[in-house]
Amino acid sequence: MSDAVRSAVEKLSQSISPIHNKDFLRTWDHPVETLHGVLHVAAALEAMHRANISCRAFQSGLGVSIFRDNSTRTRFSFNSACNLLGLGVADLDEGKSQIAHGETVRETANMISFTAEAIGIRDDIFLGEGHKYMKEVAAAVDEGFREGVLPQRPAVINLQCDEDHPTQSMADLMHLIQTYGSIDALKGKKIAMSWAYSPSYGKPLSVPQGVITLMTRFGMNVVLAHPEGYDLIPDTLAVSEKHAKASGGSFTKTHSMEEAFKDADIVYPKSWAPFRVMEERTRILRAKENDKLAALEKEALSNNAKFKNWECTEKMMSLTRGGKAHYMHCLPADITGVSCKEGEVAATVFERYRIPTYREASHKPFVIAAMMLMTRFEKPGQVLKALADKVTPRRA
């Protein structure tokens, strides 16, 4: 066993998972100690994978994915996490299921769960719907297990909803820990979570909400910046303020990108749709008034165009601490002159930080796997220690 693996596994010792037989839906549903546990398990899994040690904790079983929005990184991260732990993957294509014929959520949840260990769900488009849907699925499998229909109670893992994107924000946090050397080193660091211009209008609010609600828990000085009208869900602002007060950090808001970037240690320029626009979009779709969508999109894009100067340029980066702040993004970024004519970030800035953003994304499969392991095993540290001691190579 390598020193890196031994160190990572020993941190877990005999700890009991506080989320055993539970779900992972939003980071603020859990105490800081649980988040530390997820980070430690993810680090151990990553160390074992890099050391060519098999992490197959399951000999059979399924990880079921339900993606109600397009995805590259999160979809493949979930599949990778399942494969890493020894689970097969089944994707529920709702268009090919009986859902179109009126099958209920509670029925679907049970029918896909007979051998499932985890259900990963991405439902981020409609305000008031994603988190609610995940809770419905969780309640349905609760009943199925309680009534003896299911031999095990699969965990529901939030792969992004309307309120939070916990696997992304936890991967972001893991990236910052590796960048600065420890979680304690993040205290006092200024992170600018800033809106940035995009030529599209319907980007979810859950990434910035995930960042501000999580980073405020670790003593960071979090600044949320956006043009007037580009508000987030009010409850997430209240959660962030509460976390900052408890951790000794701070949470402030500004309508100036320059102010947010000034002396920042970390910048996270990312577009999102205004809360009001997402509310109206949800109302239109619920009412099946699809003819009104084009007008809403036109209005939203026109409003976006007023703020094309909200771009992470070299000049903007020069305002950060020493002009060398760490750039972060959940990807894909709207790169000016590359993926679009005008976008979130200048091509030269993105290219300088391109490889670090790939590293940032690389932690997500291990974060998802950690959530699954902790929800399915009471003593995940013992499971990993047994696998590490066995030293079964994942490839010969």
Mean pLDDT of 166-193: 98
Mean per-residue pLDDT for 292-313? 94
**Predicted confidence (pLDDT) per residue in 338-378, tens digit:** 999 999 999 999 999 999 999 999 999 999 999 999 999 99
A 10 A CB-CB count for 241 gives 18
The verdict on residue 253 lying in a domain is yes
Provide the 3-class DSSP secondary structure of residue 98.
helix
Q: What is the pLDDT of residue 178?
A: 96
pLDDT given for residue 367 in this prediction: 98
pLDDT, tens digit, for every residue of 106-149? 999 999 999 999 999 999 988 999 999 999 999 999 999 999 99
Same-domain check for residues 146 and 205: no
For residues 148 and 284, state if they share a domain: no
Structural domain contains residue 198: yes
Give the range of the structural domain holding residue 368, as residue numbers without chain letter: 3-164+364-390
146, 256: one domain:
no
In a domain, 27, yes or no: yes
For residue 351, what are its two tokens?
A: 């290219």
Q: Is the pLDDT of residue 13 over 80?
A: no
> Which distant-in-sequence residues (6+ apart) come within 8 Å of 12 by Cβ?
37, 40, 41, 44, 380, 381, 384, 385
Average pLDDT of the chain is: 95
CATH code of residue 34? 3.40.50.1370
Task: Judge whether residue 105 has pLDDT over 80.
Answer: yes
Alpha-carbon gap, residue 362 to 269, rounded angstroms: 19
Same domain, 147 and 182: no
Is 395 within a domain?
Answer: no
Residue 100 pLDDT > 80: no
Confidence class for position 9, pLDDT limits 50, 70, 90: confident
pLDDT number for residue 3: 75
Domain contains 302: yes
**Nearest-angstrom CA–CA distance, 159 and 199:** 25
The pLDDT of residue 1 is: 64
The answer to whether residues 146 and 206 belong to one domain is: no
Q: At what angle do helices 166-180 and 347-362 cross, to 10 degrees?
A: 100
Query: Are 70 and 205 found together in one domain?
Result: no
Number of domains in the chain: 2
| Rg (alpha carbons) of the chain, rounded to whole number | 21
The reply to whether 110 falls in a domain is: yes
Burial 173-188 (b: 16+ CB within 10 A, else e): bbbbbebbeebeebee
In a shared domain, residues 116 and 201: no
Q: Quick one: average pLDDT of 87-105?
A: 83
Q: What's the pLDDT score for residue 285?
A: 83
| pLDDT at residue 69, rounded to an integer | 85
Residue 180 has pLDDT above 80, yes or no: yes
Place of tokens 């009991």: 16
Within-domain flag for 104: yes
Residues 194 and 144 in one domain: no
Q: What is the mean pLDDT of residues 244-254?
A: 98
pLDDT at 305 over 90: yes
Mean pLDDT calculated for residue range 81-108: 87
- Judge whether residue 102 has pLDDT over 80: no
Judgement on whether residues 16 and 105 belong to the same structural domain of the protein: yes
With beta carbons less than 8 A apart as the criterion, state whether 51 and 368 touch: no
pLDDT at 375: 98
Same structural domain, 69 and 148: yes
pLDDT reported for residue 27: 98
Task: Name the residue among 73, 9, 113, 69 with its Cα closest to residue 373.
Answer: 9
396 part of a folded domain: no
Same domain, 108 and 120: yes
Instruction: Give the Cα separation of 249 and 265 in Å (integer).
Output: 14
Among 189-193, 211-215, 254-258, 287-291, whose mean pLDDT is lowest?
A: 287-291
Residues 190 and 312 in one domain: yes
